[in-house]
């Protein structure tokens, strides 16, 4: 019996673009009215305002044109991937990265399994704080070096990074791009229900980290040897480069969380890191430039996947069928009992996250519709927000329209069907935990 094998990521995303093109002919075009919302600074839908509009089907030729348009709309993310990826290649070529990995492995010799929980908690924290995703793509080469030196399979680099960040974001009590926007739209106090969410965040991370450690230990192979022993005489330079790397990460976190940085500022910071690391590490101007070029080449495929994923939504928007899909999925929930309606919301958000791969965009699109519905049927608004968090947030682990996920899995040299075989049991366990959280939330009246 042949096992399920996904097509190449580029083929898969192109197929979704063409499917979106076909749906623009099959589904009726329709839109909701929208108005500016001062609390979120975004345009939100007006409940009950859905209406049909003249069809605007997207031709196959236009769908192809939408691919470079999607790349253009994702340009800031793509340039971050290129510049940050180039910077980490420069750091790697100085030899400092491998020296740092050697130091880390020496500290945890015989206790290598501890590395997975430590890194997972770090990425989960960033996911919970700022919905970290695309920023992870350039870090994958660093994580691959570490995992290979320990002897863990490459897929664990994706699991501890994008996987942990997605779990942290889905169960976060304060993620501004997810629960923050949803609570504002639901007119709930920010951080309300924080203790409840923290409890289930801890349980979710225990499930994810436990599954990742178990997989890594079961599939462990002989560790890779260090190929850069000849750089051992440059310990002083390596130490300065590593210190610069940590300072950059600290400044990056401060810029994102306190200064409201966009992707352009992040990319500029990493470019400065690469230049400084190359000069301090002894590569010189020419060596630094050549290392950047190697990094650009290695990141090109992952960066392009992000743009192709964005093109799917561009086609759906042009066909004016996104609101049609949302309206068709949300309407049947009104006739269900309270608990089933809440669980139905999880299913709706999961299904919607395929054509709407932005968690913040999905909140703006769905919460104004589902909050009045929850009031009518007697469902807590807090539980309505939970259903959105868990449905959309956990779907980030499995949907091939998540450009960052596809790019990271491809960057690890792992096929998407291999990722699915790893992640599906953990995803189902986390989904079961989400169901428990919703049922308990209804029972205790959060």
Angle between helices 96-107 and 140-150 (to 10 degrees): 40
User: Average pLDDT, stretch 366-380?
Assistant: 86
What are 245's two structure tokens?
Answer: 């790397």
Band of pLDDT at residue 313, cut at 50, 70 and 90: confident
User: How many other CB atoms sit within 10 Å of the CB of residue 32?
Assistant: 20
Helix (H, G, I), strand (E, B) or coil at 30: strand
Helix (H, G, I), strand (E, B) or coil at 2: coil
Mean pLDDT of all residues belonging to the chain: 88
β-bridge pairing 42-45 and 30-31: unpaired
Identify the DSSP state of 133: -
Round to whole Å and give the CA distance between 394 and 295. 31
Give the tens place of pLDDT for each residue, 61-82.
999 999 999 999 889 888 888 8
Residue 77's pLDDT is 83
Least confident of 31-45, 140-154, 183-197: 31-45
Residue that the structure tokens 């560790």 belong to: 223
List own/partner pairs for 374-377 with CB under 8 A and 24 or more apart. Answer: 374/341, 376/334, 377/334, 377/336, 377/338, 377/341
User: How many other CB atoms sit within 10 Å of the CB of residue 246?
Assistant: 10
C-alpha separations of 189 from 95, 172, 204, 385, 421 in Å? 49, 15, 24, 12, 39
Return the closest-CA partner of residue 380 out of 394, 390, 370.
Answer: 370
Residue 423's pLDDT is 97
User: Average pLDDT, stretch 374-400?
Assistant: 93
Q: Percent of the chain scored above 90 by pLDDT?
A: 44
Residue 230's pLDDT is 46
User: Average pLDDT, stretch 239-263?
Assistant: 83
User: Max Cα separation, the chain?
Assistant: 72
Question: Is the pLDDT at 41 greater than 80, yes or no?
Answer: no
Overall pTM surpassing 0.85 (yes/no): no
Question: Is the pLDDT at 152 greater than 70, yes or no?
Answer: yes
Give the tens place of pLDDT for each residue, 185-241.
898 988 899 999 999 999 999 999 999 999 999 999 877 665 544 444 566 888 888
- The C-alpha torsion from 272 through 273 and 278 to 279, rounded to 10°, is 60
Band of pLDDT at residue 1, cut at 50, 70 and 90: very low
Contact 308, 407 (CB under 8 A): no
Question: Is the pLDDT at 351 greater than 60, yes or no?
Answer: yes
């Amino acid at each position: 019996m042949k096992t399920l094998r996904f097509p190449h990521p580029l083929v898969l995303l192109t197929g979704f673009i063409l499917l979106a093109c076909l749906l623009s002919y099959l589904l009726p075009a329709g839109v909701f009215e929208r108005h500016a919302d001062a609390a979120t600074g975004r345009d939100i839908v007006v409940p009950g305002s859905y209406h049909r509009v003249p069809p605007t089907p997207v031709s196959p030729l236009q769908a192809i044109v939408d691919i470079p348009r999607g790349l253009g709309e994702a340009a800031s993310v793509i340039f971050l991937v290129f510049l940050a990826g180039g910077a980490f290649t420069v750091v790697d070529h100085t030899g400092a990265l491998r020296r740092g990995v050697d130091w880390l492995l020496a500290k945890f010799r015989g206790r290598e399994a501890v590395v997975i929980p430590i890194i997972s908690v770090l990425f989960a924290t960033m996911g919970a704080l700022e919905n970290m995703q695309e920023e992870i793509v350039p870090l994958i080469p660093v994580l691959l070096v570490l995992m290979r030196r320990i002897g863990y399979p490459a897929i664990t680099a994706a699991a501890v990074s994008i996987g942990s960040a997605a779990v942290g974001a889905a169960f976060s009590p304060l993620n501004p791009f997810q629960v923050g926007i949803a609570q504002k739209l639901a007119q709930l106090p920010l951080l309300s229900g924080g203790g409840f969410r923290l409890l289930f965040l801890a349980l979710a991370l225990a499930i994810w980290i436990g599954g990742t450690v178990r997989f890594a230990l079961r599939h462990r192979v002989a560790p890779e040897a260090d190929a850069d022993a000849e750089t051992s005489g440059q310990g002083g330079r390596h130490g300065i480069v590593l210190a610069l790397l940590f300072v950059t990460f600290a400044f990056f976190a401060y810029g994102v969380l306190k200064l409201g940085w966009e992707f352009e500022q992040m990319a500029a910071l990493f470019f400065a890191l690469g230049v400084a690391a190359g000069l301090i590490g002894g590569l010189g101007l020419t060596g630094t430039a050549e290392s950047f070029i190697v990094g650009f080449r290695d990141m090109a495929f992952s960066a392009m996947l992000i743009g192709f994923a964005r093109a799917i939504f561009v086609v759906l928007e042009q066909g004016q069928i996104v609101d049609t899909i949302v309206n068709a999925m949300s309407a049947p929930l009104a006739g269900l009992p309270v608990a089933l309606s809440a669980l139905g919301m999880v299913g709706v958000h999961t299904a919607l996250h395929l054509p709407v791969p932005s968690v913040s965009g999905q909140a703006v699109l769905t919460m104004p519709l589902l909050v009045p519905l929850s009031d009518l049927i007697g469902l807590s608004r807090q539980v309505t927000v939970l259903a959105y968090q868990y449905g959309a947030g956990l779907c980030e682990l499995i949907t091939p329209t998540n450009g960052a996920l596809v790019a990271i899995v491809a960057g690890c040299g792992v096929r998407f069907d291999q990722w699915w075989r790893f992640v599906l049991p953990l995803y189902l366990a986390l989904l079961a935990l989400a169901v428990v959280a919703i049922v308990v939330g209804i029972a205790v009246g959060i």
